[in-house]
Amino acid sequence: MAHNCLQCIKYLMFVFNLLFWLGGCGILGVGIWLAVTQGNFATLSSSFPSLSAANLLIVTGTFVMIIGFVGCIGAIKENKCLLLSFFIMLLIIFLLELTVVILFFVYSDKIDKYAQRDLKKGLHLYGTDGNIGLTNAWSIIQTDFRCCGVSNYTDWFEVYNATRVPDSCCLEFSENCGLHSPGTWWKAPCYETVKIWLQENLLAVGIFGLCTAMVQILGLTFAMTMYCQIL
């Protein structure tokens, strides 16, 4: 009975980690594709220029692949060392995610102020050499969310030292439309607009977070159960 139970857990954990590893491959692939085709796409922070969507996906995909691989080999070989390593790595990641979420809610006001200050600082890099990722990211955000600047379209006046905004701020896009009167520009602040959009989609974000947590807890349970069964 115990042997059959162990075999069942063994193959369940193998399949679970194989899917985990394949997911990591997918994330890594998207990250590499973004890095090659889009440069440092979605790099909005001037303080953390390496914190781009491509780099985050590459790092995340690599970690997921490593953890999935360790779990797969540990399960199929019934190796106690690998199973324990898998459990510890997954537990550390789970606790780190939990800590980040708690800190985010506790210091949300301070994070808000810091983020706005850092984003305004990053505006000065818009359109400069070596910052194609930041330029593309701002252009996409302002066009898609129909907003302009971090807290106001006047944020761009300091960047250009003139009454001017990027063409992506225009109600109707055309060449050099950012030189026209303010009546032809989007007035909504991008920071608040994106924040409201996230709040409106909070349920989807919450479900995604809950599913991620459940998958990790399931992985921890499989690993520890199999480890105890082997012992």
Asked if the model's pLDDT at residue 50 lies above 70, the reply is no
**What's the average model confidence in pLDDT over 210-226?**
86
Q: Which residue has the tokens 């990722």?
A: 133
Rg, C-alpha atoms of the chain: 23
Asked if the model's pLDDT at residue 132 lies above 60, the reply is yes
User: CA nearest 17: which of 71, 64, 84, 61?
Assistant: 71
Token output for 50? 């390496």
- Where does residue 69 rank: exposed (0-12), middle (13-18), buried (19+ CB within 10 A)? middle
**What's the average model confidence in pLDDT over 67-88?**
89
The per-residue pLDDT for 111 is 87
CB 150 within 8 A of CB 123: yes
**Per-domain residue ranges of the chain:** 1-229
Beta bridge partners, 170, equal 185
pLDDT in tens, 149-202: 999 999 999 899 888 999 999 988 888 888 888 888 999 999 999 999 988 888
Token output for 42? 């979605």
Asked if the model's pLDDT at residue 147 lies above 90, the reply is yes
Token output for 162? 């003139």
Q: Evaluate the CA torsion angle 160, 190, 45, 30 in order and state its sign.
A: negative
CB 134 within 8 A of CB 122: yes
Asked if the model's pLDDT at residue 88 lies above 90, the reply is yes
Distance between CA 28 and CA 21 in Å, rounded? 10
Helices (H), the chain: 2-38, 53-77, 80-106, 108-123, 132-144, 155-160, 190-200, 202-230
Distance between CA 68 and CA 63 in Å, rounded? 8
